[in-house]
């Protein structure tokens, strides 16, 4: 999975796509945004930003917190990557529905740089964004080989 950036609007999504390296970027909604902003708005914002940076590899993930109904609604609105708290009692059912729709459900938010903490008009903060996106995504530890 490419490095994740939490975006709160079109300007942030556009900046993240502009700064993305060859690995691309995962545009992640704010925590619980599926319930208060809706997946349709988030997905439309990602499409608009991607239209300004055609060819930049990216994924979009809408965070639905622990709300299974919100996650199912996001699937219905076309979301292909959803964050749903793994402790949600309906996690398995939502994951099964996602699989049938060709989507995935993450049980927790991936590590992400929250663009709300940056002023994208400042060169130093844009450099922080570029540095974050240049990092390799965390890899699982290597398994020891059998002797």
Q: Which of 92, 130, 91, 83 is nearest to 111 (CA)?
A: 83
Q: Which of 20, 14, 29 is nearest to 2 (CA)?
A: 20
Residue 38 lies in a domain: yes
Residue 55 lies in a domain: yes
CA distance 36 to 86: 20
pLDDT single digits (tens) 61-88: 999 999 999 999 999 999 999 999 999 9
Q: How big, in percent rounded to 5, are the helix, strand and coil portions of the chain? A: 40, 15, 45
3-state secondary structure of 13: helix
Residue 40 lies in a domain: yes
Residue 118 lies in a domain: no
Residue 147 lies in a domain: no
**Residue 47 pLDDT level (bands cut at 50, 70, 90):** very high
Q: Which of 43, 40, 37, 3 is nearest to 20 (CA)?
A: 3
pLDDT at 3 over 80: yes
Residue 99 lies in a domain: yes
| Residue 53 and residue 18 in contact, taking contact as beta carbons nearer than 8 Å | yes
**Number of domains within the chain:** 1
Q: Could you tell me the CATH number of the domain that includes residue 18? A: 3.20.20.70
Residue 120 lies in a domain: no
pLDDT single digits (tens) 81-128: 999 999 999 999 999 999 999 999 999 999 999 999 999 999 999 999
The pLDDT, as a whole number, for residue 140 is 47
The domain containing residue 49 runs over which residues?
4-110
Q: Which helix (H) or strand (E) holds 6?
A: strand 4-6
The model carries a pTM of: 0.89
Share of the chain above pLDDT 90, in %: 84
Residue 98 lies in a domain: yes
The pLDDT, as a whole number, for residue 2 is 93
Q: DSSP strand E in 7-147: where?
A: 25-28, 58-63, 81-83, 104-106, 112-114
């Amino acid at each position: 999975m490419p490095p994740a950036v939490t975006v709160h609007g079109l300007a942030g999504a556009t900046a993240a796509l502009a700064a993305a390296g060859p690995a691309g970027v995962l545009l992640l909604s704010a925590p619980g945004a599926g319930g208060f902003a809706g997946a349709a708005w988030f997905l439309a914002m990602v499409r608009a930003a991607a239209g300004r940076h055609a060819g930049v590899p990216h994924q979009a993930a809408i965070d639905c917190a622990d709300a299974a109904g919100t996650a199912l609604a996001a699937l219905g609105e076309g979301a292909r990557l959803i964050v749903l708290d793994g402790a949600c009692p309906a996690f398995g059912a939502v994951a099964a529905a996602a699989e049938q729709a060709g989507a995935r459900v993450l049980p927790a938010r991936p590590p992400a740089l929250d663009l709300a903490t940056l002023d994208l008009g400042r060169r130093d903060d844009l450099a922080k964004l570029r540095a974050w996106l240049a990092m390799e995504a965390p890899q699982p530890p290597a398994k020891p080989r059998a002797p």
